[in-house]
Structure 1
Amino acid sequence: MAKLEFDERDLRSLRVFCHAAQAGGFAAAEKNLPMSKASISRHVQKVEARLGVRLCERGPGGFKLTAEGMVALDLASTALRALERIRPEMDAAHGVLSGSLTIGIGEHTLTHPECRLPEALERLKQRAPAVRPEIVVFSFVELNRALHDQRVDVAIRGHYEDDSHFNYLPIYRERHGVYVSGRVSGRKESASLPLVYRPHPYVEQALASGAFSRGPEAGGLDAIGALVASGDYQGILPTHYGELLGKRFDLRLQRHSPSYEHAGCVVTLASRPVSRRLQLMLDILRELHPSLDAGRAARAA
């Protein structure tokens, strides 16, 4: 059987294919790549020709990966990430930390008074000036997917339930509750309002209890806040964020609201080796948030 060897031009085409597949199409990838849709298409066609399979369906029906395309995306993404780690790891072997460090955070993470990510980034810059931090904002579901796909090195999000795929470092406590507009007069009236829906463990838990009816879907905390402020809905918000909105829009915790509490955590993928630059960031975060991690160790002992 003949060997299938890739040269530098093939690697570039593989990168373009991965960008297009992860973006969900040529038009979406065009916004992030310095090339036209026609050029992106040529690169994908070249990869298909080299592999001898069709990787994606494109046309009036939209963009969709074939079964072969999904396998190719997984393998190519893993290979390209490994290539990108060579230089940083070689630098680390010589005592120099470099390369990018991608941090995924949930929306409004910085509004939590105990989140000290900016100070952590400052210390990272002082200790490893050649490391380039990159920050992306995702929903809870998207953060998990980005960790599994290794599109982020680390995430900061709530720890709602144990998942053996991840390692957790707690850095603060967070509480959620059900908010209503202050213009809603009575408890009985507020309790009958539909609950704004978003894909989130606490919303699912509240709806499963049977105490709430499902309302319109919202894409984030700002959207929930806007719907609740209208006076026609109730919604689950982190209490520190609800208090911020409440100052402007008169949002209030519903009387006898259920309370949901968890640790806000630094989350990493358990199966992924920790690079030296990521280990430095984790050490810095432990320095800045020592109490919860120490408490967890004491409970484990």
Structure 2
Amino acid sequence: MKRQGLSERDLLSLRVFCAVAEAGGFAPAETSLGMSKATISRHIKDVETHLSAKLCERGPAGFALTEAGDVALRVAREALDALERIKPEVDGVRGVLSGPLLLGSAEHVMAHEDCHLVEAITELQRTAPLVRPTLTVMAFGDLGRALTDRRVQIAIRGKYKPIPGLRHYPLFDETQRVFYCPSHAGVIAAHSDTRSLPLVCRRHPFVTDALANHGFTPGPDVDGLEAVATMIATGRYVGLLPEHYVAKLGPRYQFDVLPDSPHYTVPFCAIVEEARGLTRSAEAFLEILLAAHR
């Protein structure tokens, strides 16, 4: 019997399945999808019926994809990505750039004097007004996953080590040091060895190195530069922050570099997947972005 192709509802159900999987559950996906849990559940059930396989588990332990669900998610992303590219690619043959441009960026890069992301987006919108750029700011680890999950076409973040399968285009350098709050100088003076002040921890290669190789003791776990700065401001902790970000906080908090602080410099890059061909719009933006940073 001839198998019917996917209908518009089938495609919608696939998009709902991908959104739920990426959000990590039905409840987190409700807001982004604008759907009730009951509606989301029906779409997931439709996909499972169409594929004759159970794709996810829900229960007291939380949401999790089955082995079949992992495979379905990977293939569905590739299929939906290909569908999204049809019109922009046809437009490109006619010399017209269009379609979505999915950008991801690390935190607070806009504050860096050598970052020209704003200028690049402005130039893209001037030369290719039919392209629809979106920009999502994420923490270090989340940005890497968004790129490999193909939720982002171009990621802007530091290159801490070569990663197989990713291509890095240098834009500018960022320097990070360990800072403390001088208004609590008494706290510092009470410690003859400043390394005894706990270092605020977040998922980042420089934090890992500082703890392993520079004698710091681990402090509280936080997520994001704002959280690190907040804990430093209490005077009870030290923390790694980019110099350009601290300069922005200077008028109020006047953070200072901890004596004998380790010094980390990393090239910030535009990062793409080597195996994933960029759309014409993404290629054009990458060229604009690199030109803006030369």
Using the size of structure 1 for normalisation, the TM-score is 0.92
Counterpart Cα distance in 2 of 1:14 and 1:199: 32
Instruction: Note the C-alpha offset of 1:70.
Output: 1.0
Which is further off, 121-130 or 9-18?
Answer: 9-18
Q: Output one character per residue of 1:232-254: Cα deviation in whole Å (capped at 9) or x when no partner.
A: 00100001112222331121100
Q: Is the 8 A contact 1:180 1:190 kept in 2?
A: no
Describe the superposition over 1:103-129 as per-residue Cα deviations: whole angstroms up to 9, x where unpaired. Answer: 100111101111111111111011101
Distance 2:60 2:42 in 1: 18
Per-residue CA deviations over 1:62-91 (Å, capped at 9, x if unaligned) read 221111111111111111111111011110
Determine the C-alpha separation between the residues in 1 that align with 2:22 and 2:265.
34
Please tell me whether residue 254 in structure 1 is matched to residue 258 in structure 2: yes
Structure 1 residue 190: deviation in Å? 3.2
Answering whether residue 293 of structure 2 is matched by residue 289 of structure 1, we say: yes
- Following the alignment from structure 2 to structure 1, what is the Cα–Cα distance between the partners of residues 126 and 254? 42
* Contact 1:229/1:250 (8 A) holds in 2: no
Residue 191 of structure 1: how far off its partner (Å):
2.5
Task: Report the TM-score when normalising by structure 2.
Answer: 0.94
Give the aligned partner of residue 71 of structure 1.
Answer: 71
The answer for unaligned runs of 5 or more in structure 1 is: 291-301
Whether the 8 Å CA contact 1:159–1:264 is kept in 2: the answer is: yes
User: Alignment partner of 1:120: what SS?
Assistant: helix
Kindly indicate whether residue 267 of structure 2 is the aligned counterpart of residue 263 of structure 1: yes
Partners of 1:7 and 1:26 in 2: CA distance:
23
Answering whether residue 12 of structure 2 is matched by residue 12 of structure 1, we say yes
Aligned mates of 2:7, 2:207 — CA distance in 1? 49
Query: Tell me, what secondary structure is at the counterpart of 2:248?
Result: helix
Aligned-residue CA RMSD (Å) = 1.5
- Equivalent position to 1:204, from 199, 203, 208: 208
Residue 5 of structure 1: how far off its partner (Å): 3.8
Partner of 2:61: 61
Distance in 1 of aligned mates of 2:192 and 2:108: 31
What is the CA–CA distance in structure 1 between the aligned matches of 2:272 and 2:32, rounded to whole Å?
A: 26
Aligned to 2:199: 195
Contact 2:214 2:262 in 1 (8 A): no
Tell whether the 8 Å contact from 2:106 to 2:140 is kept in structure 1 after alignment: yes
SS of the residue corresponding to residue 31 of structure 1 reads helix
4+ runs of 1 displaced by more than 6 Å? Answer: none
Q: Which moved more, 1:146-155 or 1:181-190?
A: 181-190
Give 1:36 deviation, angstroms: 1.2
For residues 192 and 11 of structure 1, what CA distance do their matches in structure 2 show? 56
Q: CA separation in 1, counterparts of 2:199 and 2:147?
A: 29
What is the letter of the counterpart of residue 32 of structure 1?
S
CA distance in 2, matches of 1:2, 1:67: 28
Q: Match of 1:216?
A: 220
| Aligned-partner residue type, residue 83 of structure 2 | L
Whether 1:40 aligns to 2:44 is no
| CA distance, structure 2, for counterparts of residue 130 and residue 237 of structure 1 | 38
Alignment of 1:1-301 (within 5 A): 3=3, 5-182=5-182, 183-184=184-185, 185-186=188-189, 188=192, 190-209=194-213, 211-290=215-294
Distance in structure 1 (CA, Å) of the matches to 2:61 and 2:221: 26
Q: How far apart are 1:3 and its partner, in Å?
A: 4.3
Matched residues in 2 for 1:174 and 1:34: separation?
39
Distance 1:229 1:189 in 2: 20
Alpha carbons 1:246, 1:252 under 8 Å: kept: no
| Offset from partner CA, 1:182-240 (integer Å, 9 cap, x none) | 02343735331011000101001111115111110111111000101101001000011
In 1, are the aligned partners of 2:195 and 2:217 still within 8 Å (CA)?
no
